[in-house]
Chain A
Amino acid sequence: MYNYNQFDHDFVRNRVKEFRGQVERRLDGSLTEDEFKPLRLMNGLYLQLHAYMLRVAIPYGTLNSRQMKQLAMISEKWDKGYGHFTTRQNIQYNWPKLKDTPDILDALADVEMHAIQTSGNCVRNVTADHFAGAAADEIEDPRPTAELLRQWSMDHPEFQFLPRKFKIAMTGSPNDRAVTKAHDIGIRMVRNDKGEPGYEILIGGGLGRTPMIGKVVREFLPKADLLPYVEAILQVYNLNGRRDNKYKARIKILVHETGIDTLREWIEEVFETQKIHHQTPPAEMIEAIEAQFQPPKFDNAKVDEDKLSKIIAADPLLRSFVETNISEHFDSNHAIVTISLKPIGGTPGDATAKQMRIMAGLAEAYGYDELRVSHEQNIILPHVRRDDLPEIYKVLKDAGLATANVGLLSDMIACPGMDYCALATARSIPVAQELSIAFEDLKLQQDIGPLKIKISGCINACGHHHVGHIGILGLDKAGVESYQITLGGDGTQTASIGERAGPGFSYEEIVPAVSRIIDCYMNIREGKNDTFLDVYRRVGADPFKEALYPEETATA
């Protein structure tokens, strides 16, 4: 867990002071609304459909109980008593007042948090695998590098006015849980032939209206070269990215139009210059960052597995929770718990202040004081002793936080959609709620198996629908909501963009349409281990199209 040093404290406080001044200068007319807009965005403040929205960064998704409690406090003092965890490891408050935001930012600084660069055309919150530092399959914890990038990107003088936003994601595991291939820069921690640690760098991934899978620009980058190399990518993008059309301004379009090979040459050339003009971060700084991400001192008393299995076997609901929401920890006495923020019929990603405090309390009591936010809008307890699982489950259940659906149908990503967002063309949250109610039987969901449904309320794709096994995109067709279905998307190391199944469905038709896809899958699959994505990749779209559009296919 990274703790601020004096420099970090001073930086964040100074930033709040600056923003306070900017709000005052907007009010006295020094700044026009146009000029103020990017400044407030760089400090996380959006103007939404009904009110301002403040987006707070949770860098690489890591936070402690004190921070989680402060997020709860903020939601009660300045908002409506809840917060919304997002796909980029942020939390959003939907109802703050402009005049209160500097005070909110100060309250965040009190617990070593900020909202810097959570919006605007700059380098956004750096995200990472939510199981980082805990997962059994991890090569190396990506968070020290993510923290280094966080620091590097903060108020970077050259890159605050890029052609468009810029998102970086990292993973230290071969199993990509951070959607790195759908980011402007995706970084994977790898080893070269000599066993030296370094990075594989991808650029040009992204979703939105032109979804693209990132391309490898550097197969192996030595660790020490990271900052000058990233600096080179950003400089090439800042100078060459399109500024004539905001929908063509992301680096993915530059990669697409220029070609990865040419772009690689440009980047390498600038990289050589950057290396000459910048020093490598001092080793003691890197070591100081790394030291803060050491695993906690684990309680290594052997877990009585016999006793534990008996307790689990005796309670079918607990068993279901353990089977679904627990992941393998690198330490055999420990486990990773995913707390689902997707109760049946609820709003994906929302947590009340009370729930935040309960999760913080669990982290304090059982979880070495650590929590994570996942891009799938859930909360993680990354280190808990396995024999504490029954007690943790009990507390979660009493708080309405024990839904055993992680990785299943109702563990959906949904963007805020027309309920909050000024850009939305359709509702997303109600579709997620109705789908989850239609499939509320968790046994049925478990039988259906791993399934990722992702819902966006407009073409900007904040709900990641392109990489959903089943993606739903809500559009506006002549004033009426119309939902397009894509099939076969995947956001992991085997990333792919979903293919459009056919004409859209009305709001009333969309849940039955998804049900037909599920029925179709259940009929085709060869046993329970034959997942939806496996089946889709094997048989293709045709059977699903027939299920979706029985009349068209019958007459065709």
Chain B
Amino acid sequence: MPVIVRDSGFEQDTWEAEGGLFIDLEKYGQDVADRDPSKTAIDIPNNVTVESLKGLFVNASMIRIPFPSFADGRGFSLAKQLRQQGYEGKLRAIGHLIADQYGFARVCGFDEIEIDDEMAKRQPEEQWLARIPKQDLSYQNLLMGERPLRNA
């Protein structure tokens, strides 16, 4: 079972249990009108341009961005761009992230991270919570007034 990491700690994923769907961007297709945005999450690849997604912002209440490897930081910039371009739904990172990256993900605009069971065991909850961003220790916040954190 995957685990969802949020500022409040580890949680079970209730999205699908509550009727939510994950839909690949390429399969999103034409029948947009039939879909309930509140039940729609779109899986995007991490090499897509945000410009091409703008039209979908109102059609989904979650966008999920993959991290194929924790060393592949494209998802951070993608999340930041989505927020800057006005996406206000939920942003979830999925894949191989490590606890040490939790703060980076949050500051870049993610609300939560979906990790697998093995990772949740190896890096338990307290290791992730220890990395809730400390905005009072952020040079970027100090210098440039980064967008404030969204409530998770």
**Set A39, A235, A239: member contacting B100, Cβ < 8 A:** A39
Q: Tell whether, in the assembled complex, residue B78 and residue A239 are in contact, meaning their CB atoms are under 8 Å apart.
A: yes
Is B53 an interface residue when CB atoms closer than 8 A count as contact? no
Is A174 an interface residue when CB atoms closer than 8 A count as contact? no
In chain A, positions 486-518 with a C-beta closer than 8 Å to chain B are: none
Which chain B residues lie closer than 8 Å to A161 at the CB level? 70-73, 76, 101
Secondary structure type dominating chain B contacts:
helix
Q: Tell whether, in the assembled complex, residue B76 and residue A158 are in contact, meaning their CB atoms are under 8 Å apart.
A: yes
**Set B103, B122, B123: member contacting A157, Cβ < 8 A:** B103
Q: Tell whether, in the assembled complex, residue B144 and residue A159 are in contact, meaning their CB atoms are under 8 Å apart.
A: no
Q: Tell whether, in the assembled complex, residue B145 and residue A278 are in contact, meaning their CB atoms are under 8 Å apart.
A: yes
**Set A154, A155, A158, A273: member contacting B73, Cβ < 8 A:** A158
Q: Tell whether, in the assembled complex, residue A121 and residue B71 are in contact, meaning their CB atoms are under 8 Å apart.
A: yes
Is B74 an interface residue when CB atoms closer than 8 A count as contact? yes
Which chain A residues lie closer than 8 Å to B84 at the CB level? 273-274, 276-277
Is A25 an interface residue when CB atoms closer than 8 A count as contact? yes
Q: Tell whether, in the assembled complex, residue A152 and residue B77 are in contact, meaning their CB atoms are under 8 Å apart.
A: no
Which chain B residues lie closer than 8 Å to A148 at the CB level? 143
Which chain B residues lie closer than 8 Å to A14 at the CB level? 134, 137
User: With contacts A11-B139, A152-B140, A156-B140 known, is A277 near B122, CB below 8 A?
Assistant: no
In chain B, positions 55-83 with a C-beta closer than 8 Å to chain A are: 70-74, 76-78, 80-81
In chain B, positions 119-138 with a C-beta closer than 8 Å to chain A are: 122-124, 127, 130, 133-134, 137-138
Q: Tell whether, in the assembled complex, residue B103 and residue A7 are in contact, meaning their CB atoms are under 8 Å apart.
A: no
In chain B, positions 92-137 with a C-beta closer than 8 Å to chain A are: 98-101, 103-105, 107-108, 122-124, 127, 130, 133-134, 137
| Complex CA distance for A152 and B143, rounded to whole angstroms | 7
| Complex CA distance for A549 and B140, rounded to whole angstroms | 56
Q: Which residue of A has the minimal Cβ distance to B134? A: A14
Report the minimal beta-carbon distance from B146 to chain A, rounded to whole angstroms. 7
| Complex CA distance for A159 and B139, rounded to whole angstroms | 13
Is B35 an interface residue when CB atoms closer than 8 A count as contact? no
Is B150 an interface residue when CB atoms closer than 8 A count as contact? no
**Set A18, A35, A235: member contacting B81, Cβ < 8 A:** A235
Is B33 an interface residue when CB atoms closer than 8 A count as contact? no
Instruction: Tell me the count of chain B residues lying within 8 A, CB to CB, of chain A.
Output: 39
Which chain B residues lie closer than 8 Å to A239 at the CB level? 47, 74, 77-78, 81
Which chain B residues lie closer than 8 Å to A30 at the CB level? 99, 122-124, 127
Q: Which residue of B has the minimal Cβ distance to A237? A: B77
Q: Tell whether, in the assembled complex, residue B77 and residue A10 are in contact, meaning their CB atoms are under 8 Å apart.
A: no
User: With contacts A238-B77, A281-B143, A285-B142 known, is A158 near B104, CB below 8 A?
Assistant: yes
Which chain B residues lie closer than 8 Å to A160 at the CB level? 73, 76, 101, 104
Chain B 12-44 against A: per-residue CB contact (8 Å), 1 yes, 0 no? 000000000000000000000000000000000
Report the minimal beta-carbon distance from B3 to chain A, rounded to whole angstroms. 15
Which chain A residues lie closer than 8 Å to B138 at the CB level? 155, 157
In chain A, positions 157-188 with a C-beta closer than 8 Å to chain B are: 157-162
Report the minimal beta-carbon distance from A155 to chain B, rounded to whole angstroms. 7
**Set A11, A31, A156, A162: member contacting B137, Cβ < 8 A:** A11
Number of A-B pairs, beta carbon distance below 8 Å? 104
| Complex CA distance for A238 and B75, rounded to whole angstroms | 9
Is B147 an interface residue when CB atoms closer than 8 A count as contact? yes
Is A22 an interface residue when CB atoms closer than 8 A count as contact? yes
Q: Tell whether, in the assembled complex, residue A279 and residue B140 are in contact, meaning their CB atoms are under 8 Å apart.
A: no
Which chain A residues lie closer than 8 Å to B144 at the CB level? 152, 227-228, 231, 278-281
Q: Which residue of B has the minimal Cβ distance to A121? A: B71
Report the minimal beta-carbon distance from B54 to chain A, rounded to whole angstroms. 13
Chain A 114-150 against B: per-residue CB contact (8 Å), 1 yes, 0 no? 0000000100000000000000000000000000100
**Set A157, A227, A274: member contacting B107, Cβ < 8 A:** A157
Tell me which of B70, B72, B98, B108 has the highest count of chain A C-beta atoms within 10 A of its own C-beta.
B98
Q: Tell whether, in the assembled complex, residue B127 and residue A25 are in contact, meaning their CB atoms are under 8 Å apart.
A: yes
Report the minimal beta-carbon distance from A18 to chain B, rounded to whole angstroms. 8
Which chain A residues lie closer than 8 Å to B80 at the CB level? 158, 235
Q: Which residue of B has the minimal Cβ distance to A31? A: B98
Report the minimal beta-carbon distance from A389 to chain B, rounded to whole angstroms. 40
Q: Tell whether, in the assembled complex, residue B77 and residue A285 are in contact, meaning their CB atoms are under 8 Å apart.
A: no
| Complex CA distance for A160 and B124, rounded to whole angstroms | 23
Which chain B residues lie closer than 8 Å to A11 at the CB level? 137, 139
Which chain A residues lie closer than 8 Å to B77 at the CB level? 158, 235, 238-239
Report the minimal beta-carbon distance from A134 to chain B, rounded to whole angstroms. 27
Is A151 an interface residue when CB atoms closer than 8 A count as contact? yes
| Complex CA distance for A523 and B104, rounded to whole angstroms | 61
Report the minimal beta-carbon distance from B130 to chain A, rounded to whole angstroms. 7
Q: Tell whether, in the assembled complex, residue B127 and residue A238 are in contact, meaning their CB atoms are under 8 Å apart.
A: no
Is A443 an interface residue when CB atoms closer than 8 A count as contact? no
| Complex CA distance for A357 and B134, rounded to whole angstroms | 38
Is A97 an interface residue when CB atoms closer than 8 A count as contact? no
Report the minimal beta-carbon distance from A287 to chain B, rounded to whole angstroms. 14
Is A81 an interface residue when CB atoms closer than 8 A count as contact? no
| Complex CA distance for A227 and B101, rounded to whole angstroms | 23
Q: Tell whether, in the assembled complex, residue B73 and residue A277 are in contact, meaning their CB atoms are under 8 Å apart.
A: no
**Set A159, A231, A243, A276: member contacting B72, Cβ < 8 A:** A243
Report the minimal beta-carbon distance from B141 to chain A, rounded to whole angstroms. 10
Is A38 an interface residue when CB atoms closer than 8 A count as contact? yes
Is A550 an interface residue when CB atoms closer than 8 A count as contact? no
| Complex CA distance for A11 and B139, rounded to whole angstroms | 9
Q: Tell whether, in the assembled complex, residue A157 and residue B70 are in contact, meaning their CB atoms are under 8 Å apart.
A: no
Which chain A residues lie closer than 8 Å to B81 at the CB level? 235, 239, 273
Is A29 an interface residue when CB atoms closer than 8 A count as contact? yes
Is A400 an interface residue when CB atoms closer than 8 A count as contact? no
| Complex CA distance for A227 and B142, rounded to whole angstroms | 12
Which chain B residues lie closer than 8 Å to A7 at the CB level? 137, 142
Chain A positions within 8 Å of B, measured between CB atoms, are 7, 10-11, 14, 18, 21-22, 25, 29-31, 35, 38-39, 121, 148, 151-152, 154-162, 227-228, 231, 235, 238-239, 243, 273-274, 276-281, 285
A-B contact pairs, 23 of them (CB 8 A): A11-B139, A14-B134, A148-B143, A151-B139, A152-B140, A154-B139, A157-B105, A158-B77, A158-B80, A159-B73, A160-B76, A160-B104, A161-B70, A161-B73, A162-B73, A227-B144, A235-B80, A238-B77, A239-B74, A239-B77, A243-B74, A285-B142, A285-B143
CB-CB nearest 3 A-B residue pairs: A161-B73, A157-B104, A157-B107
Q: A121-B71, A279-B145 given. 4 additional CB < 8 A pairs?
A: A156-B139, A158-B104, A235-B77, A243-B74
